[in-house]
Structure 1
Amino acid sequence: MIPTLVLLPGSPWPVLPPGIHAAGLADVSAAFATNAWRRSLYDGLVDACGRLHRAGCPTVYLDGSYVSGKPKPGDYDACWDPSGVDPAKLDPVFLNFQNGRAAQKAAFKGEFFPSSMMCADVGKAFVEFFQRDRFTGIQKGIIAIPLTADPLLSGKVQP
């Protein structure tokens, strides 16, 4: 379940409360795909999650202004758990970080990093880095999307 967003002193818009909050893709849609632009970003996320799921990825962690109260986020940020991923089935775009991850943004309208990859700017793995507000440094939350159990990816429901 996605909790109610909270205000952090010094942050320009509400964010998720601290923690890793498990939610399915349908929950993400209900909470954040609230207008045509946000729906377009969500559609890119679903496409990327499907590709990662087919490669064996168990979980995607969703972050960025998309999972905040920002009225028009530019994109979303995500990291994916590499455990169990078959490199032969992984779309190479997920490992293409050139030109500010332009290929990822073109394909999915968002950016993806392996969750265990170190963010050079702060010396922490992306799954940890994503749990800090970029404006204040205060701890905030992210969403964990368990791909193996998501009905949307198993074909049981339509987006």
Structure 2
Amino acid sequence: MPPGAHAASLENVAAAFATNVWRRELFDGLVLASGKLRLAGCTVIYLDGSYVTGKPKPGDFDACWDPSGVDLAKLDPVFLEFGNGRAAQKAAFKGEFFPSTMLCADVGQAFVDFFQLDRFTGKQKGIISISLSADPLLLGKVQP
């Protein structure tokens, strides 16, 4: 994927990446988490990791969410649990979520920037940006 954040809907993500039973399970976790984030006021998430590649059985997906406008009182606390390899998040959603502005301690960059670097080559790469506020898959499932 070319460098930058590329806009897609959850339906676009499903069509491109939910291509087998396991990948569909991961996608279902992504949709569940997206709905919870939207309920708390999150308007955009960024998707990365082996899920957005051709790997037949990725271990999980990696995502970060924009904390701008998020009401922490409405945010599911699991989104702020990073211990034990994000085990609580993986159990709840089959993937990992970080605030996009949170610094990745390993590299000293915000997660939204860290996600845009190939971990093997260090070169820029693309990620998927999903607007939650008007995503057709979430409309009707989540109260504003």
* Percent of aligned pairs sharing the same letter: 77
TM-score (norm 1): 0.87
Out of 56, 78, 89, the residue aligned to residue 41 of structure 2 is 56
User: What corresponds to 1:41 in structure 2?
Assistant: 26
1:155 CA drift (Å) = 2.2
1:101 aligns with 2:86: yes
Letter in 1 for 2:32: D
Q: Distance in 1 between matches of 2:32 and 2:103?
A: 25
1:70 CA drift (Å) = 1.5
Out of 115, 118, 124, the residue aligned to residue 100 of structure 2 is 115
Moved segments of 4+, more than 2 Å = none
Q: Distance in 2 between matches of 1:96 and 1:148?
A: 24
Q: Distance in 2 between matches of 1:133 and 1:37?
A: 24
State the secondary structure of the residue aligned to 2:133.
Answer: helix
Extract unaligned runs of 5+ from structure 1. Answer: 1-15
Aligned Cα root-mean-square deviation (Å): 0.9
Q: Distance in 2 between matches of 1:71 and 1:150?
A: 26
State the secondary structure of the residue aligned to 2:63.
Answer: strand
Higher RCO (CA 8 Å, separation ≥ 6 residues): 2
1:24 CA drift (Å) = 0.5
Extract unaligned runs of 5+ from structure 2. Answer: none
How many residues of Structure 1 are paired with residues of Structure 2 in the alignment? 141
**Deviations along 1:89-134, whole A, 9 cap, x unmatched?**
0000000001010000000000000000000000000000000111
Pairs within 5 Å for 1:8-157: 16-155=1-140
Q: Distance in 2 between matches of 1:137 and 1:67?
A: 18
State the secondary structure of the residue aligned to 1:149.
Answer: coil
TM-score (norm 2): 0.96
